[in-house]
Amino acid sequence: MLKYYTDMKRLSFIFSLLIIGIALKAQIATTKMQVSSTEHDFGTFKEEAGRQTFDFIVTNTGTEPLIIQNVQASCGCTTPEWTKQPIPAGAKGKVTAIYDPANRPGQFNKTLSVYTNTKPEVTVLVIKGEVVPHEKTVEELFTFQVGQIRFESNHLAFTNVKKTEKKMRVMQLINTSAAPVKVEFDGLPPHLTLVSNPETLKPGQKGMVEGTYDANKNGGWGNVSDMVKIKLNGVAQENVYYYVSANLVEDFSSLTKDQLDNAPVFKVESTTVDLGKIKGATQNEVVFKFKNEGKSDLLIRFIRSTCGCTAVQQGQQGVGIKPGESSTIKAVFNSGSYSGKVTKAIYVYTNDPKNSELVLMLTADVEQPPAPVKN
């Protein structure tokens, strides 16, 4: 029995020594990383200089292999590269930061998160600098070319225009030819005025397209657009159009608090109607019920749909709907050759100050007959 206890003590002592040895080895055998610097300033450089590259040198100052597991950049403008193989003790590797300044003028400050098998597991590196924007060419500044005249764009946007106002917008243009060019606009609707100032541009001369939109003369509502032809030296340019858009909205700015409190309220039972499964090439009627929950007459100013496949019918359009009265908006959806899930929108414009534009949705799951089997 005495020998048994002596042997057990000896085994316990040996086991303790093994544990201590493993612990000491774990303390001695470590992975450590030293970085040449944690921040790099590229300074000021021109955008046309292209991608800028810098190597952060990492040194394994531990006794075990160093592994760079991943490097994540804080934005897509910075591309990281790094040493993929394990770095032996005492050896060096690198983390490369590549910054792309294209279309990114101004100061920048970005980070690279380096994930390794060290403690701490994440080391954050910083790159910074300032990009001087390149001087844009005539082609970049004036993107829409019509003959030898270039416009800043083919689209003059008036954005929101109140139905009671005239609004002005301007756009630059330039004559890139060696001869004078007279610029005119053809086929203008009554609500739109477009002139070039000066009307005749000398070679290399810049000018302005001056546009005036008179919303009083346009019976539409919401997003509207016009396609206008351009004439150069009296000749209309074929298959080239200048696009003019506006969002025509009700003018509620002059309403008093009392008028707002007593305004109409356009209340729809449901803004979405689901037709469920329907057959192709069929006419499907949708009815949206609504009520005037306000204190004065509700006017349906305008109704439009997202495509010609939806015909909108509304008996009360332009006629006042008395407080407390109800009415309907009907839409006929032609499923035509549609297949699968379909969603269409109907825009309703009213004189409700808090709900002057409402979007009604109709959805359907269109089933087309199977194609005939060819023999």
pLDDT score of 232: 97
Confidence of residue 17 (pLDDT cuts 50, 70, 90): very low
Percent of the chain whose predicted confidence (pLDDT) is above 90? 78
Confidence of residue 27 (pLDDT cuts 50, 70, 90): very low
User: Mean pLDDT over residues 29-57, rounded?
Assistant: 92
Angle at 271 between CA 298 and CA 157, to 5 degrees: 75
Distances (CA, A) of 211 to 138, 141, 155, 203: 23, 20, 12, 23
- Collapsing DSSP states into helix, strand and coil, what is residue 133? coil
Q: Does pLDDT of 22 surpass 50?
A: no
pLDDT score of 40: 96
pLDDT score of 120: 85
pLDDT score of 28: 44
Please give the class, per CATH, of domain 261-367.
mainly beta
C-alpha to C-alpha distance for 65 and 42, rounded to whole angstroms:
31
Least confident of 16-25, 197-206, 218-227: 16-25
Cα 321 from chain centre: 39
Confidence of residue 20 (pLDDT cuts 50, 70, 90): very low
pLDDT score of 14: 53
Please give the class, per CATH, of domain 138-249.
mainly beta
pLDDT score of 305: 86
Strand partners, 277: 365
C-alpha to C-alpha distance for 374 and 365, rounded to whole angstroms:
27
Domain definitions of the chain by residue range = 33-132, 138-249, 261-367
DSSP 188-233: --TTEEEEEESSEEPTT-EEEEEEEEEGGG----EEEEEEEEEEET
Q: Does pLDDT of 5 surpass 60?
A: no
pLDDT in tens, 108-161: 999 999 999 998 899 999 999 999 998 889 999 999 999 999 999 999 999 999
Give, for 63, the enclosing helix (H) or strand (E): none
* Residue 18: Cβ within 10 Å count: 10
Q: Which CATH fold topology does 33-132 show?
A: Immunoglobulin-like (2.60.40)
Residue 100 is encoded by which pair of tokens? 């792309």
Q: Please check whether the two domains, 33-132 and 261-367, share a CATH topology.
A: yes
Which residue type occupies 297?
A: D
Q: What is the pTM of this model?
A: 0.65
pLDDT in tens, 59-100: 999 999 999 999 999 988 999 999 999 999 999 999 999 999
